[in-house]
Structure 1
């Protein structure tokens, strides 16, 4: 049986945070320090952006992803050692992970995102510059498909898995943990350059995306759909188009020089696409008892020997 006292979640989050933001960042700090001329330059770059030191884009991406990989391993450690549960209980209520769900969600959002990029390109071709560099792009493809899913899996298992379960234990319902984790997920994107360029209204998109991914997890009794969606979203963003005005860029196929604007396109996914996707998933997987899953009382969970959440 798992041990799900709320204090264990607090301790577990501390361990995860140290693994993610302290231990996991050491390789990046070490490489950045080797690129810096002196300690002052290193400190200035730490406050701004380590890429200013001339670190290769793919190397920088790899070093950034290491922190999320360490964070993911920290989650597994916490679940097994502090909560004495099997990792599968964090991922899904099913006996084993449903990879078909992951791949369906991934493929669907990858296709939709690609179509939207093609429409954007043909609508404003002057905003894009061809940026194909064979070897850097091949390395980017390798990093994106191999390591980016680990980064997105960390975020999903932290927010839609660990924190949502922890707040569920404390609050005994699903809707409030859904709101709390979605707001936290959105606020953590506050350091993104989009916020500075577009203002605080862009948080509607970030928090809305968190709500959507949380709904997928609650209504489908597992994180598989959210895992596939999030991986596709980040891979498309890394591989196809990099923005000229963002601090962190990749060796993507195109560079976009379009000035960011806060218009309907910023909210289109939240207002239009996410509700449609919820309907598609609900029909395909025959979701039932929406009201009970969202607003019903959560009893103290325990884990049986077959790793089922009861």
Structure 2
């Protein structure tokens, strides 16, 4: 039974109207943030820098990331009590959540991030400043280990689970579900300071990453791999290296001081066009993925 199709197997399947309130609530928050930035010409980077000057990086990071805990809790309660759907069916089509898949994905992408940073530091050390401060870093480490996986889990449970299943049920199309959630995932980051600094071309990176996460979810019939990748991407990245113009400005080990104008969109395309397809290939070989056209573009039918 497929990841989306499993919701059609009994009379307790979610009703389409049940997806509307929470979806409108969360996307309304995202749209509101974007409108504030655009209508009032607010610089999100200036707001972050000002807040850091007032309370410090750790407290600013905590203020930014704790709300995701409430959003995840709210989503879980909504799914359990309004949809009357199990968390297992929201997570995977398997009989139980496969933790090994999460660990494999997390470890693989962590290795890629670290090796990529080592190469970048080796070739252009002038672009990085080692800023390790034991007290600040270890406090941040504790905050990050607890809250970053919650933040990434909410985004995956909302995008690759809740919305993907809901749109799939509404349209009976895996392709529509895949492309729609990928675009929404990209637009969800439109108020980030990265967009302000690099322009809308960075949407290629965000939407491309969302597409990759959607593909591995549909091919693997569960979000375990997506959960692992996303957690590694945000957690390891935040701990290892950040800059003074991104959404996450943290007490990381290194600060990237590369001028924004020197960061080419081509460097982001390397991840989208090379590394993520390579990861997809590895996952496909390890987990024996087959019948790609049906998994990604097939129709959603009962008893599929």
Query: Which residue number in structure 2 is paired with residue 285 of structure 1?
Result: 287
Within the alignment, does 1:268 sit opposite 2:270 as a pair?
yes
For structure 2, which runs of at least 5 residues remain unmatched after alignment? 1-9, 31-41
Query: Which residue number in structure 1 is paired with residue 39 of structure 2?
Result: none
What is the CA distance between 1:278 and its match in structure 2?
0.8
Residues 275 and 139 from structure 1, CA distance in 2 versus in 1: closer, same or farther, beyond 3 angstroms? same
Residues 46 and 267 from structure 1, CA distance in 2 versus in 1: closer, same or farther, beyond 3 angstroms? closer
Could you give the per-residue CA deviations for residues 109-152 of structure 1, whole angstroms, max 9, x where no partner exists?
A: 00001111111111111111110110110111112222101100
Within the alignment, does 1:52 sit opposite 2:46 as a pair?
no
Cα distance in 2 for partners of 1:45, 1:157 equals 29
Cα distance in 2 for partners of 1:104, 1:126 equals 33
Correspondences of 1:1-310 after superposition (within 5 Å):
1=10, 2-14=12-24, 49=47, 51-53=49-51, 54-246=54-246, 248-260=248-260, 261-299=263-301
Cα distance in 2 for partners of 1:45, 1:282 equals 42
What is the CA distance between 1:11 and its match in structure 2?
2.2
Would you say the 8 A contact 2:90–2:161 is kept in 1?
Answer: yes
What is the CA distance between 1:63 and its match in structure 2?
2.0
Residues 15 and 248 from structure 1, CA distance in 2 versus in 1: closer, same or farther, beyond 3 angstroms? closer
SS in 2 for 1:72: helix
Cα distance in 1 for partners of 2:82, 2:25 equals 10
SS in 2 for 1:255: strand
For structure 1, which runs of at least 5 residues remain unmatched after alignment? 22-43, 302-309
Q: How many residues align?
A: 280
Would you say the 8 A contact 1:51–1:57 is kept in 2?
Answer: no
Would you say the 8 A contact 1:16–1:74 is kept in 2?
Answer: no
SS in 1 for 2:299: coil
What is the CA distance between 1:47 and its match in structure 2?
10
SS in 1 for 2:250: coil
Residues 14 and 247 from structure 1, CA distance in 2 versus in 1: closer, same or farther, beyond 3 angstroms? closer
What is the CA distance between 1:57 and its match in structure 2?
1.2
Cα distance in 2 for partners of 1:47, 1:135 equals 25
What is the CA distance between 1:187 and its match in structure 2?
1.0
What is the CA distance between 1:14 and its match in structure 2?
4.1
Of 260-269 and 276-285, deviating more is: 260-269
Residues 159 and 247 from structure 1, CA distance in 2 versus in 1: closer, same or farther, beyond 3 angstroms? closer
Runs of 4+ in structure 1 over 6 Å off: 44-47
RMSD of equivalent CA atoms: 2.2
Report the TM-score, using the length of structure 2 for normalisation. Answer: 0.86
Cα distance in 2 for partners of 1:294, 1:132 equals 44
Cα distance in 2 for partners of 1:50, 1:128 equals 21
Cα distance in 1 for partners of 2:246, 2:201 equals 18
Cα distance in 1 for partners of 2:25, 2:191 equals 23
SS in 1 for 2:66: helix
Cα distance in 2 for partners of 1:292, 1:113 equals 32
